[in-house]
Structure 1
């Protein structure tokens, strides 16, 4: 009962993403299973500090990032129970938890890699019959890749984008991001605008019936998984050996703006980050790439040791 109520709260009131809700549900079901099997407790309200401490030992086998997420889920859940007066005190109070997660720099694409992906898609478009479903799909895929790179939006934001949130001349898009925060992102590149216009011309009738901008062959909203599969497939076909996801385009967008000396606060606004501290990770990527460029191209390398 409490789990279902919490999930409904996350969906309806907090409007969290499907991915977040799935993670919350999975973590809480795992926690419930452990508590039932280990202590024969079937009511979340009866769980005490010592039960949670033993659960923390139990999940310590996972990677630190996963453990941190599972703990965060439980904290949010018990804060909700306390707020709803289902419990009189939070069992997480006075439990000290310090989990160090090694920060990894986000993966980014080089401009040559982005160009290779777009070139491959254009090649596939030229090779497809214009009246075929395959041609229509490629035109859609080009629009997706162009928009991901041009705006740095999250894959969920792309999939839930509606025609009504796109300016009539495709010069801006309005995004409803995390925490129901709206942001306007300009689209200034002519190739990106052309790709969106080409896609809309082909799918206009279906889009207007559906309301979502990017649709699948069944004329439903395209799923996040479909976009991930598309990006993985076209990246491999373009000769990129490492794993590429839609989020890599977001990282690339932010890093390229930093390298162009765009103010980090403006990048924060474009990405929809709640804090500039989150955006700061890209400064490390930018500095790392600057070092690599200098190492290869510094003029001191041209001076001999004779």
Structure 2
């Protein structure tokens, strides 16, 4: 669809980040496929029905219903698409007349020091490495899944993310304990290209199993909470916000500033 391509170019020209430039056009394409009619014939009722459909749509990752923030993001993409069509004269009217409230900020959940210890104590060797990568090193799930053995310098205790979110590269230091466990994990298994040698979805499932073993499954924790936890620790220990941004691989400082809103009552030693 040419208009989807042009909409994507419009987002690029307006300076939106790469994730928005990629996500919004795909979202709009799925919406148009659902409507099964030319864009000029789409009405407000079509958008309303799609919004209602999203309320019962299952996430391909969590298998549960889409979050309200996720739904709001999809609807925002559709609204911006019709704003673009009207602004460029491709439609005289704008069918997006819905007033959908974006969910208010929700405080990020973080693990306590005791809960982190409980996770490590209950973990298998594989689950322990997942904790090291996603907690101690602050990696995203996809980054952990795509991490290659050649990207870890055990001697220098450095981990290289060659292509993170938004194609950002970064170097992450790790502790002697992390070094020892990764070293043992690598040499105790067959030679392989990737450290974990499992998919991002399998990482999620392994962490889910670990939460259940640790008695933390029903407390609303997700794998991403590990990143929130290490970010909170670093800020509590006095690391500058800019350095925490670089550690996490955020493109914008505003994204990292979310973590300054977390209020915790504990200090934690580094692993």
Q: Which TM bucket (shorter chain)? A: 0.7 to 0.9
Matched, 1:214 2:216: no
Which segments of 5 or more consecutive residues in structure 1 lack a partner in the other structure? 83-87, 122-137, 216-221, 294-306
Matched, 1:158 2:149: no
Residues 202, 259 of structure 1: alpha-carbon distance in 2 compared, 3 angstrom cutoff: same
Q: TM-score, normalised by structure 1?
A: 0.65
1:237 to 188, 213, 230: 213
- C-alpha distance in structure 1 between counterparts of 2:26 and 2:4, whole Å: 9
Task: Using the TM superposition, give the Cα deviation of residue 100 of structure 1 relative to its aligned residue in structure 2, in angstroms.
Answer: 3.0
Aligned length: 238
The match for 1:70 is 74
**Which one has a bigger Cα radius of gyration?**
1
Which segments of 5 or more consecutive residues in structure 2 lack a partner in the other structure? 10-16, 56-66, 267-271
2:157 to 162, 171, 182: 171
Residues 67, 239 of structure 1: alpha-carbon distance in 2 compared, 3 angstrom cutoff: closer
| Matches for 1:51-200 after TM superposition, within 5 Å | 51=42, 53-61=44-52, 62=55, 64-74=68-78, 89=89, 99-121=101-123, 138-169=124-155, 171-175=157-161, 176-187=163-174, 189-200=175-186
Task: Using the TM superposition, give the Cα deviation of residue 169 of structure 1 relative to its aligned residue in structure 2, in angstroms.
Answer: 2.4
- C-alpha distance in structure 2 between counterparts of 1:194 and 1:101, whole Å: 43
Does the CA contact (< 8 Å) of 2:119 and 2:214 recur in 1?
A: yes
Task: Using the TM superposition, give the Cα deviation of residue 267 of structure 1 relative to its aligned residue in structure 2, in angstroms.
Answer: 0.5
Matched, 1:33 2:34: yes
Q: TM-score, normalised by structure 2?
A: 0.73
Q: Secondary structure at the match of 2:244?
A: helix
Residues 227, 74 of structure 1: alpha-carbon distance in 2 compared, 3 angstrom cutoff: same
Q: Secondary structure at the match of 1:269?
A: helix
